[in-house]
Structure 1
Amino acid sequence: MVVHHRRRTEDVQLRVADAITRFAGSMPFVYIHAVVFAVWMVFLESSPWPTLTLVVSLEAIFLSTFVMIGQNRQAAFQQIKADHDFVEQELELKTNTELTRAIHVMTTELHRRLIDGEGEQ
């Protein structure tokens, strides 16, 4: 997971995508757009709808791309985490199996000694 994070911070394109996605998913982004669109519609153009529709459509295309980049990043991180967790669980299972076998051997030996010890007295 550390390697994934380091690779991500070293890649300029991914840092830019993360920054845009972080800003686009914030309330300041919403406020800025509300103000800009309101000013545009009320003060700058008498008929803003065709241009505004074009701008909003293009922005939606780019923002959806950044959302998909974020989802791909999250999916890659989750895969790395799942792989790591699998390896750790397999190691834990192996350790628990070895401990269970050792306990079985010690219990068997203890029972054998107790039974043999009773017969001698």
Structure 2
Amino acid sequence: GHIVFVYVHIVWFGAWIVLNTGRIGVHPFDPFPYGLLTMVVSLEAIFLSTFVLISQNRLSEESEYRTNLNLQIALLTEHEVTRVLQMLDAIQDKMGIDNDEDSELADLEMETKPEDVLTEIERLQQLALKRKKLIKHNSR
């Protein structure tokens, strides 16, 4: 994840190649085509790709946790706003103020149930999955 990693590898590979040319008085321990270097680089690639996958899994778990937390906060906020609207409606009634019979306002005053939200999310995910499969099938 840092440019230092690239620089270290440039120096490492350059030194390996220069040492194994035999021009600086050192007997080559890995002559051209540098089979040992190839093996070392392959092993390093295996470990680096494993570390990247582990990091991605960890980031994915953190992202899922944050998404869940955001959903819980949004549901709590929705509950609080609904309660405030209900209280304002009750205050209007108590003070004798005419209440606009707006259907949108009545919808906002209705309590949002978390299970309904989760059901709708699942329904939308299923719909998106079906569309994806249909697009994939039609592209063949």
TM-score, normalised to structure 1, is 0.67
Q: Which amino acid aligns with 1:76?
A: E
1:43-70: CA deviation from partner (whole Å, max 9, x where unpaired): 1343153222211111111001000111
After alignment, is 40-49 or 87-96 more displaced?
40-49
Identity of aligned residues (%): 35
Per-residue deviation, 1:112: 5.5
Matched, 1:36 2:21: no
Query: In 2, Cα distance between the equivalents of 1:91 and 1:38?
Result: 59
Aligned pair count reads 89
Which residue, 36, 41, 46 being the options, matches 1:51? 36
Matched, 1:72 2:57: yes
Query: In 2, Cα distance between the equivalents of 1:96 and 1:39?
Result: 66
Specify the alignment match of 2:94 in structure 1.
109
Which structure shows the higher helix fraction?
1
SS of match in other structure, 2:96: helix
Describe how 1:80-99 pairs up with structure 2 within 5 A.
80-99=65-84
Per-residue deviation, 1:40: 0.3
Per-residue deviation, 1:100: 0.5
SS of match in other structure, 1:46: coil
- Aligned CA-pair RMSD: 1.7
Q: Which runs of 5 or more residues in structure 1 are unaligned? A: 1-24, 114-121
- Which stretches of structure 1, 4 residues or longer, exceed 6 Å deviation after superposition? none
Q: Which amino acid aligns with 1:27?
A: I
TM-score, normalised to structure 2, is 0.58
SS of match in other structure, 1:65: helix
Query: In 2, Cα distance between the equivalents of 1:112 and 1:49?
Result: 88
Query: In 2, Cα distance between the equivalents of 1:75 and 1:112?
Result: 52
**Higher RCO, 1 or 2 (CA under 8 Å, sep at least 6)?**
1
